Chains A and B, each alone.
Chain A
Amino acid sequence: MNYVETRLAKLARNGDRRAFSELVDLYKDKIFHLAYRMLYNVEEAEDVVQETFLRVYSNLHRFDENQKFSTWIYRIGTNLCIDRLRRRKQTYSLDAEVSESEGADWYSMLPSDERTPEGELILSETQEQVRKAIDALPEKYKSAVILRYLHDMSLQEISEILNIPVTTVKTRVHRGREYLRERLEKQTLL
């Protein structure tokens, strides 16, 4: 399966647009899911999907065939999300934490989008709290947890995507897991 993607990437590199559209087909939902979980905003997630494919497309000549295509595209997508999260932090006015609930800032109070993605149309109260808990994770742990739990990535793959050592990935997953446990415990979900 991985061979197929590498082959498609090579074809696309030589100007085959149909091969590229097959890659878009294969990855647009995955990258959207990643971006939606990272940013919790439909429109921003859509932008990230679009930008990810734009970057993949214009950097095809840099794609290393010995690498998994999925690792490469996830790295591009994750970096775009992290950039956006950092830019959000810099806009100070919305950054102040809401006093009564720890970890939530004014962003989580904003209606992210009237249009909820299909997968989220019906969310149980528990799931809604879990979603918020993920959204409240510090950026460092967020990407590691999302890739680990929602994209079934191995620690090795995450280390390649985030370009950090496996031991660091471990630490981030561990801390993220503790953070979630603590928060969900407070909400008496555990």
Chain B
Amino acid sequence: MNCKEAILFMHEYLDGDLSEDQTIQLKQHMQQCSICKTHYAKLEKAGALVQSLKPVGAPQRLTTAAIMAQLPPPPKRTAWLKWIRRHPAASIAAVFLIVMFSSFLAMWDNSDQLVVRVSEPDQIVIEGRTVVVPEGNTIQGNLVVEKGTVQVDGAINGNLIVVDGSYALASTAHISGEITKVNQAVEWLWYKMNQFFASVAE
């Protein structure tokens, strides 16, 4: 072993990385070479001197509270903002649902006006809030009545839809389609959705 190698081994030894075999080799070299022996002693002492420096703690004025006070205030809305960042698909779906729902609610008319939708208005008679289909009259198509009572004595060649109201059928009444009664906003929504998907299906 030459001195150059020995110095490399010394550092490895001081870092605790020298194998047992190599340590023996280094020891043997240092027994013969006084220059390397003193070199090692100096390296070791230099390290020990550095370690003799005591840890220096933060000054007393640098308290934990002082450090905490410098931090930005806790963000308030991060919780759900984070959620949005983590679940982009769900967020888009939620926004879509909100828009859809609000548009349905907008369609849901809250006024208490009587609304009648029919293709042949001359076939019906309105008395107060009651829509009457007189006996002998026939409506071709659907009859939609909102916020009113329906009295059917004649015939409807289509569906009867009653929203937020009631209906009465006389024995002479004849309705070829279905009778649908919708009373709640949710039912109304359901009805609208059915209608929407039915139209899409067509």
Knowing A21-B64, A24-B68, A49-B67, the reply to whether A29 touches B55 (Cβ < 8 A) is: yes
Task: Select one of B42, B56, B65 contacting A36, CB under 8 A.
Answer: B56
Whether B68 lies near A118 (C-beta < 8 A) is no
Report A123-151 CB contacts with B as 1/0, cut-off 8 Å: 00011001100100000000001000110
Task: Check B53 against A131 for contact (C-beta < 8 Å).
Answer: yes
Size class of the A contact interface (CB-based, 8 Å): 35 or more
Task: Determine the chain B residues whose CB is within 8 A of the CB of A126 once the complex forms.
Answer: 49, 52
How many A-B pairs have beta carbons closer than 8 Å: the answer is: 119
In angstroms, Cα B46 to Cα A57, docked, is 38
Residue from B39, B49, B54 with most neighbouring chain A CB atoms (10 Å):
B49
- The answer to whether A184 touches B49 (Cβ under 8 A) is yes
Known: A145-B50, A173-B15, A181-B42. A32 touches B57 (CB 8 A): yes
Residues of chain A touching chain B, judged by Cβ–Cβ distance below 8 Å, are 15, 17, 20-21, 24-25, 28-29, 32-33, 36-37, 42, 46, 49-50, 53-54, 57-58, 115, 117-120, 126-127, 130-131, 134, 145, 149-150, 155, 170, 173-174, 177-178, 180-181, 184-185, 189-190
- In the complex, whether B136 has a CB less than 8 A from a CB of chain A is no
B51 CB within 8 Å of chain A: yes
Assess the A46–B58 pair: CB atoms within 8 A: yes
**Given contacts A28-B67, A29-B57, A29-B58, is CB(A149)–CB(B15) below 8 Å?**
no
